[in-house]
Amino acid sequence: MAQDNFSRVTEFILLGLSDTQELQLLFFTFFLLAYSMVLLGNLLIIVTVRTDPKLSSPMYFLLCNLSFIDICYTSVTTPRVLVALLSGHKAIAFEGCMAQLFFLHFVGSSEMFLLTVMAFDRYTAICRPLHYTAIMARGACWALVAACWVGGFIHSIVQTVLMLQLPFCGPNTIHSYFCDVLPVTRLACADTTLTEWLMASNSGLISLGCFLVLLASYALILAKVRAHLSQGHWKVLSTCASHVMAVTLLFMPCIFTYLRPAGTLPTSKYVCVIYTIFSPMMNPLIYTLRSSEMKESMWRLWKR
């Protein structure tokens, strides 16, 4: 009955990264350049893969989907950050905050699942080359990508439902530049211990579980490559090395952020920059500069 007398918060105030005018200008420039690189780099990968018949292998099909996810993932938070830094308007409606939280986890967890599928693709190509075309047929690739999106949706809807059950009646200041489960949970007018553990189990264990599967797959690939050192295997190993760089940028900050309840340690909003903007910005560079086929295809596309 006590909760019925609470006035529900209708909007939140996102404090952003800094209140200093000079730093805000610096952050605006960084976010604008980073977002432009994410859009241009990933769109270039999508166009290159879609227009070059030589890039029809499952690896490039999954890379094309990863680029699309990176564009969606960054677009959930970055445009609003740019508007807030430019206009100074930091308020976001309660419904908008929940929507941002939902889509952030929807697309973000889908990317984690897709990176795991990409690791499985590399493992199959190296460790089971004779069965690769049968295992990674086009229909199987579409099914795996669809499973990634379904898994991301299920994860995100659980997070959002848990958040909507909480009463928000008092403080509405979020010490971050976007709505996420940890900073928003701290504002609830109730005991959130159980909810925090459920959210940590959901987001944190997904991040940790996918990362451990990735490490296991690369350990098996390394063992295979060490047993058969050839030029072709070194080429594939180089591709896997770039993949490891990409997943480390995404998974380590997420594990640090989500694999604990909200009140145990303070969450650094600067750590969030790594997995919301820096990792999607680096993915096009990592995957294109480490792949000779991608660079050759991009050069052919440029000459056309």
CATH classification of the domain holding 280: 1.20.1070.10
28 vs 258: CA distance, rounded Å: 26
Structure confidence at residue 9 (pLDDT): 79
9-16: average pLDDT: 86
Residue 143 tokens, joined: 């099914």
CA angle 174, 176, 181 (to 5 degrees): 70
Q: Which domain holds residue 107?
A: 11-298
Structure confidence at residue 5 (pLDDT): 46
User: Taking Cα atoms as reference points, which of 70, 100, 13 lies closest to residue 288?
Assistant: 70
Structure confidence at residue 236 (pLDDT): 61
* Domains: count for the chain: 1
* Strand runs labelled E in 161-203: 173-174
pTM for the whole thing? 0.88
Q: In this structure, is residue 254 part of a structural domain?
A: yes
- On whether the CB atoms of residues 117 and 144 are closer than 8 A, the answer is yes
103 vs 29: CA distance, rounded Å: 25
- On whether the CB atoms of residues 62 and 118 are closer than 8 A, the answer is yes
Q: In this structure, is residue 1 part of a structural domain?
A: no
150-179: average pLDDT: 89
217 vs 58: CA distance, rounded Å: 17
Instruction: Tell me 264's DSSP state.
Output: T
Q: In this structure, is residue 218 part of a structural domain?
A: yes
87-94: average pLDDT: 86
CA angle 46, 74, 61 (to 5 degrees): 25
